[in-house]
Structure 1
């Protein structure tokens, strides 16, 4: 492909002046915020309450629901909620219902003490995770439905706004949570988090429901199944076939079975190293010697600013040159940046190194995430966008949501190695971060192996 086919930098920047991208940003905030509620906030609270690394890591197993939300995603594509659907539409009605559930659970958590009633806290956190995972299905489908097949060139911009929104919803409230946790306590923090959910509900009511051909495409699928199964189009069997079977069958037909399975494996492997690192990051910062206020300042506030800037830069590069180079460069940089944490573990609580690590980590993560989200969107059909994207995103999140629950156990297991304590430049945390770097290597090899299919997808974007 000739360089002349690339958009100019002016065209690239002008492409961000689209109101739909603001809506994607707002709902991105709603997707990121629950990860703060039951993720870093809860990890900080549990650490302050005296729980072990293993216990904190296993508490994170509630995130497993994000890895299986594809199982009920077909219902989000097809079931119309009474009253809410008529007022808000298919996507926003589900988003609003889930946010109300999260608001109620957050208020209950604000009245608990995990050091005395960990079981109740876990149940409430699990309910938030379940509602959040369901909300994500509708939010991702909202973003995909907002741009037609002929606008696939706008997917990197939409991915950028989604990522910026996600980190805004995760980091800015997290900053206020950590700098105030020592003064008002974690219970007070969660009352503040409940107020933020109220703001997210306002966002949901403000944005406009996207127009899409979803109903028409699903009706066509029903007609095909009715002829194939020799049933009337109103048959329950037809409805279940189109709702449950067709989203997955269409994905494999479009890509071919061999390529589809390879793509699914790549999606699973790409961010697994980052997932293990992320689950233990707050515990690591505290054990190295940083307090809540420092964590809030560097990890949340500065981390958010770095993510916003680097996400915009990363998306502009992906718009200009496509996702193939973004995936490869982002993957390599993401793996290498984990070594900064290994250095940090060896040096100790040095604020300058903490700042440098946060900036490098957010740069590489933002760059890789933009390419990754854009790539997942390219793989998604428009008739069943909620289901197919949920399947891909679930695989992409499997390491972060399920396998990373054992990250605390892994650090404790590494600590038992006598030889590590005899190496002056190595310690359990450093070795753990080196392992997270190695975890990325298989997916990098797969990027090279899949480059022809990636190129095909990129060409489809250019000609759409």
Structure 2
């Protein structure tokens, strides 16, 4: 118990928690608050569902993640370090984008709202790369047993940023503020995250040494060192050509060591199993994504008020997630990553059936509270185990790239499939047979409960191949 307390009282855990808040907050901007704003603006459920496709950006952020491991920002990097300099830049851009959204209206300027939402998604997904890399880098290699604790703090922070700050946005709307004013008011939270970044300690890393060695290896493959002397230029034209060749060699070596080496390292370490790991990551939380994408629309349609949604879904749900995340980290440490994922996956799917029952009985606050209670426990449990699992797979020299690759694959699965969640509900509504089972929402949530099965089968296979690593 004392060891557990020492882990959570480490000041690094506080900063990981606050970074988690910074990571969750943008999902209010282009997620929950935007969903309700779009609904108030008169958009259809199908349109709202497809608007959520802006989250597809989170699925491809691994493409530029290597740059965050390598590229230095003039003035900022020298003063604040690699991780903090990028956070300061990105959080400043996020603040400006939120303010810009506050001066729009989706009822009249849907294109501009969409473009700004994409901008928020790009900045936010890039910020996530840095925050995830910081969370892993801040621990020493021998502290890997603390990964579930860092995952718990990051998860708790994310839900506070998404839930508590999201609840504030919903309350402001319900108390008479128009959505433009709400966005302008909550933009101040982005300034708070900038202040937090200024207080962070930049983690120590051997990243530059490893990257430098990789670059030299690629230079050797592309002609070797001292290439200029080897070319033996005589005339001025020869010297110009030789300079261009050397420049090409060094640029190519930098590109390969920055963009290719991190991905090569991942697939070399795990071989063919890497494909199965990525498929598992893609599919594990798809059912949860379907539920999450349509949950606010569902709550409103069956008769809950915005204040009730804010209280139960945001405040109560987020408070429980903070507590449950810490409990989940303890369970994950005790049972191991794979068994923790297996248990949480089954529980997560089973909880979706509670929402089917809620759809059947209508706006019963008791059932609503129970659904939120169970959903937040299983969501916290699955997320903590999932984040710790992914963190465990990264190479410290390429933290940002490899974690972003795996997280992007997970986001891709959730975004690709869940983007059609509204279409699924509308399609089910058009089917006469669903009335026999309680209506379209009842059937919809039952279907989401089955979506975890393929990933659990893959998890069993992965655990047999790498049992000594994950258990």
State the Cα deviation string for residues 234-276 of structure 1 (Å, max 9, x = none): 71111011011100100011112x1111111111111111111
TM-score (normalizing by structure 1): 0.94
Q: Tell me how far 1:340 sits from its aligned partner.
A: 0.8
Q: Give the corresponding residue for 1:47.
A: 39
The structure-2 alpha-carbon separation of the partners of 1:454 and 1:179, relative to structure 1 and needing over 3 Å to count, comes to farther
User: For this pair of structures, how many residues does the alignment match?
Assistant: 448
Q: Give the corresponding residue for 1:305.
A: 319
Q: Give the corresponding residue for 1:420.
A: 434
Question: Which secondary structure state, in structure 1, belongs to the residue aligned with residue 9 of structure 2?
Answer: coil
Out of 368, 378, 392, the residue aligned to residue 354 of structure 1 is 368
Question: Which secondary structure state, in structure 1, belongs to the residue aligned with residue 113 of structure 2?
Answer: helix
Q: Tell me how far 1:67 sits from its aligned partner.
A: 0.3
Structure 2 Cα separation of the partners of residues 167 and 91 of structure 1: 22
Q: Give the corresponding residue for 1:166.
A: 158
State the Cα deviation string for residues 345-367 of structure 1 (Å, max 9, x = none): 11100111111100100000100
Contact persistence 1:180–1:293 (CA under 8 A): no
Q: CA RMSD in A?
A: 1.3
Q: Give the corresponding residue for 1:245.
A: 260
Q: Give the corresponding residue for 1:142.
A: 134
Out of 5, 11, 21, the residue aligned to residue 3 of structure 2 is 11
Q: Give the corresponding residue for 2:410.
A: 396
TM-score (normalizing by structure 2): 0.93
Out of 289, 299, 305, the residue aligned to residue 275 of structure 1 is 289
Question: Which secondary structure state, in structure 1, belongs to the residue aligned with residue 397 of structure 2?
Answer: coil
Out of 455, 458, 468, the residue aligned to residue 446 of structure 1 is 458
Q: Give the corresponding residue for 2:237.
A: none
Q: Give the corresponding residue for 2:447.
A: 435
Could you list the structure 1 runs, at least 4 aligned residues long, displaced by more than 4 angstroms after superposition.
none
Q: Give the corresponding residue for 1:207.
A: 200
Moved more, 299-308 or 195-204: 195-204
- Report 1:33-72 matches (<5 A): 33-72=25-64
Out of 384, 389, 396, the residue aligned to residue 370 of structure 1 is 384
1:411 partnered with 2:425: yes
State the Cα deviation string for residues 72-124 of structure 1 (Å, max 9, x = none): 11111111011111111111111111111111111111111111111111111
Question: Which secondary structure state, in structure 1, belongs to the residue aligned with residue 104 of structure 2?
Answer: coil
Q: Give the corresponding residue for 1:123.
A: 115
Structure 2 Cα separation of the partners of residues 113 and 402 of structure 1: 27
Moved more, 287-296 or 223-232: 223-232
Q: Give the corresponding residue for 2:238.
A: none
Q: Tell me how far 1:376 sits from its aligned partner.
A: 0.2
Q: Tell me how far 1:232 sits from its aligned partner.
A: 3.7
Moved more, 388-397 or 93-102: 93-102
Structure 2 Cα separation of the partners of residues 231 and 41 of structure 1: 55
State the Cα deviation string for residues 48-89 of structure 1 (Å, max 9, x = none): 121110010111111110000001111111110111111111
1:25 partnered with 2:17: yes
Contact persistence 1:231–1:238 (CA under 8 A): no
Q: Tell me how far 1:454 sits from its aligned partner.
A: 4.7
The structure number with the bigger radius of gyration is 2
